[in-house]
Amino acid sequence: MQKFISYIICLFLFSNYSFGQGELQDHKTLNFNERTYAIYFNSNGYGLNFTYGKRLDGFRRATIAIDLSEIKHPKEIRTSNPYIVNNQKKFVFGKLNNFYLLKLSFGIHKTVFDKFDKGGIGIGYHFQFGPDLGILKPVYYDVLYPTATPNEYILEKEQFSTNIHSISDIYGKASYFYGVNNSKFHVGGFARVTIDFDFSENDMFVNRLECGAQLDAFLKPMEIMANETNTRLYFSIFIGYRFGKILKTKLNKQ
């Protein structure tokens, strides 16, 4: 967390310094809409984002966005059955479900510092909120069961059960797509605040480094792991890269 905060401060100082450097450009107000994409890494997972921004004035945009992300439990540890020689099949022991989030968000982005000179860095912030759709996709294991023949086993696909399974019973994780039809859906909500650093050299394209924090909330805990605390609140910090292009541009010289 301290490294993350230090990194933000360094970028902020560098951007202020850059305002006094480089070749000055004619200041202009950009009245444009934009379509952008982003990939980001959370402290508890990763995700993809699509955002459409409609310019309200010279410094504000109204945004609508769609996110798809995966949330990892902090106790997830990949391992393998130590009693099977040369077994390279990795799995997370005790995992019940993969947890995905599909988000629809509405927000306002505001530019705080514009790029006044060539090669400068613009700074803005973005508030978003909206509904979450939590998707719990069951995880199945290939479980070993002995047969009447010594040293021979059969494999059964089963979800993890604390009362039945131990690490020595599991050969590996079953196919990802096995059990998709048993997925469960839960409605929730989220809020997010983002600080972004715009380093685009061309006004027709978008290149931004983003960082911030978000909170996802559900009515009941999402079951990701057995024998571990599962929560209905998911707070995370994130860093991401956003790119895209300008859809409509009107330049008003000032």
**Long-range own/partner contacts, residues 162-169 (CB < 8 A, 24 or more apart):** 162/94, 162/226, 162/227, 165/141, 167/79, 167/81, 167/82, 167/93, 168/81, 168/82, 168/83, 169/143, 169/144
Per the CB < 8 A criterion, the answer to whether 139 and 223 are in contact is: no
Is the Cβ–Cβ distance between 34 and 244 less than 8 Å?
A: yes
pLDDT band at 202 (very low <50, low <70, confident <90, very high): confident
- Position 225 pLDDT exceeds 80: yes
Band of pLDDT at residue 227, cut at 50, 70 and 90: confident
Residues 6+ apart with CB under 8 A from 163: none
Distance CA(222)–CA(234), nearest Å, equals 10
Q: Using CA atoms, how far apart are residues 109 and 105, in angstroms rounded to an integer? A: 12
Of the chain, the percentage scoring pLDDT greater than 70 comes to: 83
Integer angstrom CA distances of residue 149 from 10, 109, 155: 66, 67, 14
From CA 149, how far away is CA 114, in angstroms rounded?
Answer: 75
The 10s digit of each residue's pLDDT in 132-144 is 999 999 999 999 9
pLDDT tens per residue across span 10-58: 444 444 444 344 443 444 445 588 999 999 999 999 999 999 999 898 7
Helices (H), ranges, the chain: 2-18
Nearest to 197 by CA among 207, 185, 187: 207
Using a 10 angstrom Cβ sphere, with 0-12 exposed, 13-18 middle and 19 or more buried, the burial of residue 54 is middle
Residue 251 and residue 25: Cα distance in Å, rounded?
13
pLDDT tens, position by position, 89-127:
889 999 999 999 999 999 999 999 887 655 678 899 999
Radius of gyration of the chain (CA): 24
Considering only CA atoms, which of 131, 79, 140, 75 is closest in space to residue 105? 131
DSSP secondary structure letters along 44-59: TEEEEEEEEEEE-SSS
Specify the CATH architecture of the domain 2-72+98-136+183-253: Beta Barrel (2.40)
Backbone φ, ψ for residue 185 (5° rounding): -125, 140
Whole-prediction pTM value?
A: 0.81
